[in-house]
Amino acid sequence: MKTVPMAMAALIPAASSGAFECSDAARAKARDFIDNEKQFHLGFLPSEQSNPITATLEEDFKRSTLAGVQCLQRGDRQIPITMRHVFAGEKFEKLVSSMVETLQAPKGRIIFSGCGATGRLSILLESMWRDFFHRRAAELTPAERALADRSASIMTGGDFALIRSVEFFEDFAEGGRRQAAALNVGEGDTFVAITEGGETSSVLGTLKYAAEHGAKCFLVFNNPADILRAHLDRSREAIDNPKVTVMDIYCGSMSLAGSTRMQATSSEQLLGSCALEAALCRVLPRFAKETSKDYTLAFEKLLAGLESPGGRAGLVKAIEFEKGVYDKHGRITYLADKCMLDLFTDNTERSPTFMLPPLRSSRDRHLAQSWAFVKNPLHPTVECWNEMMRRHPRCLEFTSEDARSLKMPQRFIDSPPLIKYSDLVTYMIGNEPAPERIKGFDRAAAVMLTVGDKPAQYMAAANRLAADWPEKIEFHIGPQPTDGIWVKMEIADSPLEIWKHLAVKLAFNCLSTGTMAASGRVAGNWMSWVSISNKKLIDRGIRLLVELGGISYEEAAQRIFSAEEWVASKDWTGKEEPCAVQVALERLRAEKRKVSTR
């Protein structure tokens, strides 16, 4: 179904005809959130605050796309300042040594656990490990190849959440415990819990279970530990646990306020992938010559490539191309192979971050098509899921009784989320034709992504699949020229290809955020189009209204829940459902304009 994005200003007459009015129900919800959800009031966390070095983001993109890209990239320069100390520290050595001990023992796994962006990162780290043993199999003995199965990951909500956010699950520590129990986490395992801000309940639940059952535990987050300890009971319990090694890698606020998929997750990806590669090279020392001697320097070289004239020119062209397609109510389908997981991380997170239609299943034909999607031209869908992860997906069989036992809201009990494996494979990410992403749109483009090199088999398959689209363009990140979009830069090789994956991560952080900023979905350096699908995002929306509207937290909460109520009362068939935060913000701005003109 074709959907028409609406100018938010067009909603204002219907949404508000005068001074702000709030129903009793919305006022009660606001009061309940203020009084009873204080552990999710996170404005004190630096990772949730506006970063002064990117405060001009909205205005910079209005001046030029290049100015906007330069502004966004400032935040990434905070990462190496912190990571140089982390890599030189005792805790990083302890993490690598623990991984090595696990691998040298007869059994035990390196397990990563996360939620949302860090959950997808956990899956990526496991897949990078497994992919090494797949790519380099001819150089390995049977015993060495068996090490492929010595890594695992936990994603809050199961692997289904890789492709579509499983809302509300992150608020439940017990759900995390159950996932850790299902994976049989325990003695002999090195367990690495990764949470962007250090406070995600489900991830802390997996950590607590791992510590109780004898795993060697590490907690990685991107906020000052003393601030977390002072304000959040769940964080204090984890930080003070003597069985947990705490790795606080705080590197400043995000380029886009609260968007922890950016610098927080980038620094955590750098840490996790470098630790994993260091452990690999100690266990298989003949590969040590292929890894970097200075991880911080290698990362700085990567940043320099993205910030070079050729790097920035490619990012500018990519943003302007995407925006041009979306301005014509079009759709983009990325074709990828090696970096599919990286693209899914970016595409999936666009939905809650910028209130875009989520990736759509083949059975959900009544729903709007996501603005961007990812397909692999080399494999059919079922095979593609296994190839991408280098294992069979781990999904949850989630029932009404599960929702009831976790004390989830009634809507989850009445209608449990469809997150089983059979649900996952209805997302057609393979090389099947996709007329639904072409027909009925004013523009439809296939973008063929290559990173570092351009494998002949992949290029041939991508060109065959892309032939169905009215527009096709090559997008290369690396040293080889292209007539399409070229982010010109050198990418160092390594056993786990960590720099290739980080190049995609950083480039697409800039591309997707920049496209949304250029499209008006950013206010200042806040994501003003944001889904309020969990308690953290509700608080984030309220704080956005406080900062940009100059009102109290209580009034902002009332306005958010009032806007949510108004959105829910309307029929959005054939239109993209607006974001309650943006509706509330535009209502407030309209009221202030009316007052100022009197």
With vertex at residue 423, the alpha carbon angle to CA 272 and CA 347, rounded to the nearest 5 degrees, is 45
pLDDT for the residue 16 = 44
On whether residue 308 sits in a domain, the answer given is no
Query: Using an 8 Å Cβ cutoff, are 411 and 357 in contact?
Result: no
CA atoms within 13 A on the CB side of 383: 9
Q: What is the pLDDT of residue 67?
A: 98
Contact 271, 260 (CB under 8 A): no
299 inside domain: no
pLDDT at position 402 over 50? yes
SS3 of 392-408: CCCCCCCCHHHHHHCCC
Q: According to the model, what pLDDT value does residue 526 have?
A: 85
Would the pLDDT of 458 be above 90?
yes
402 CB-contact burial (10 Å; exposed 0-12 / middle 13-18 / buried 19+)? middle
Lowest mean pLDDT segment, chosen from 173-177, 547-551, 557-561 = 547-551
With respect to residue 33, please indicate whether it lies within any of the assigned structural domains: yes
Cα 15 to Cα 10: distance, rounded to the nearest angstrom:
9
The pLDDT value given to residue 544: 85
Rounded to whole angstroms, the Cα distance separating 208 from 196 reads 17
Place of tokens 């990526």: 124
Cβ atoms of 542 and 549 closer than 8 Å: no
Mean pLDDT over each residue of the chain, to the nearest integer: 92
pLDDT > 70? residue 2:
no
Percent of the chain with pLDDT over 70: 96
Q: Which is it for strands 526-527 and 522-523: parallel, antiparallel or unpaired? A: antiparallel
Measure the CA–CA gap between 206 and 212, rounded to whole angstroms. 10
The reported pTM is 0.90
The one-character DSSP state at 4 is B
DSSP 173-193: HHHHHHHHHHTT--TT-EEEE
Among 438-447, 500-509, 516-525, the minimum mean pLDDT is found in 516-525
Residue 487 belongs to what H/E stretch? strand 485-488
DSSP 8-state assignment for residue 338: T
pLDDT at residue 5, rounded to an integer: 45
Average pLDDT over residues 502-510: 97
| Residue 72 maps to a domain | no
574 pLDDT band, cuts 50/70/90, is low
pLDDT tens digits, one per residue of 199-220? 999 999 999 999 999 999 999 9
Structural domain includes residue 15? yes
Work out how many domains the chain is built from and give that number.
1
Contact 402, 355 (CB under 8 A): no
Q: Looking at the predicted structure, is the pLDDT value of residue 327 above 50?
A: yes
User: Which residues, 6 or more positions from 520, have their beta carbon under 8 angstroms from its beta carbon?
Assistant: none
Q: Give the model's pLDDT for residue 1.
A: 39
Flag whether pLDDT at 7 surpasses 70: no
Indicate whether 550 belongs to any domain. yes
pLDDT of residue 167: 67
Instruction: State mean pLDDT over 571-577.
Output: 74
Query: Is there a domain that residue 587 lies in?
Result: yes
**What is the model's pLDDT at position 12?**
46
Q: Residue 550 — left, alpha, or beta (φ > 0 → left; ψ -120 to 50 → alpha)? A: left
Full domain range(s) for residue 581 = 8-50+525-596
What is the per-residue pLDDT across 262-274, written as a single tens digit (0 to 9) for each? 999 999 999 999 9
